[in-house]
Amino acid sequence: MSRLTGRLVVASHNTGKVREIAALLGPFGVEPVSAGELGLPEPEETETTFTGNAALKARAAALASGLPALADDSGLEVFAIGGDPGVYSARWAGPNKDFGAAMRRVWEELSASGNDRGARFVCALALAQPDGGVEVFEGEARGTIVWPPRGEKGFGYDPIFVPEGLTRTFGEMTHDEKLPLTHRARAFEKLVASLK
């Protein structure tokens, strides 16, 4: 784990996401510090893919802080509505981060499109070095969309997503139950494998 030691910037201002990434980093003796804690600006996500946005955010944080930086770009892709909201998952929630409205929009568009409730959460995880080098790793969690939303745990679209083979939504699971099933954990497994 030579490239993941000491201080590492988690290039996010989303506290739920920072908590998940910090938990994944826990066993490796890494000291995660969030971009928010360092007062780093959030770069505009101008890319059209998860990998592009993750790399953009990680590179910006690494250059601004002089530390290695880990960023993720993730979102929900609903197959029957053309993969939306996709890279625009956070934008569907608007400036006030109203995921209740975003989940309702997903359900309304899905209901108008037919019977396929299949979806996946996608995560691209980018590790950037202060010298500008970036590596990206992708993971996914497949499942189905349900309505109405269930559960108060998690964040974002978790209350309408049931992972494959299970009956509870991510929003109904404790942090410890949910974490190993997530798209983020699967991307992180690939990152760890690359460092061994």
Active site residues: 73
Query: By residue range, what is the domain housing residue 115?
Result: 6-195
Q: What is the pLDDT of residue 15?
A: 78
Q: Can you name the residues that pair with 122 across neighbouring β-strands?
A: 75, 140
pLDDT along the chain (196 residues), means of 10: 71 80 80 89 91 96 95 95 95 94 96 93 96 95 98 93 98 93 92 80
Q: Give counts: helices (H), strands (E), the chain.
A: 5, 6
Instruction: Output the CA–CA distances (angstroms, integers) from residue 150 to 1, 36, 104, 160, in the order listed.
Output: 38, 30, 13, 6
Q: Is residue 41 part of a domain?
A: yes
Q: Is residue 79 part of a domain?
A: yes
Instruction: Compute the half-sphere exposure of residue 106: CA atoms within 13 Å on the CB side of its CA.
Output: 37
Domain count, the chain: 1
Predicted model pTM: 0.86
Q: Is residue 1 part of a domain?
A: no
Encode burial over 56-76: b for 16+ CB neighbours within 10 A, e otherwise.
bbbbbbbbbbebbbbbbbbbb
Q: What is the pLDDT of residue 3?
A: 61
Q: What is the pLDDT of residue 106?
A: 97
Q: What is the pLDDT of residue 2?
A: 42
CA nearest 190: which of 142, 124, 122? 124
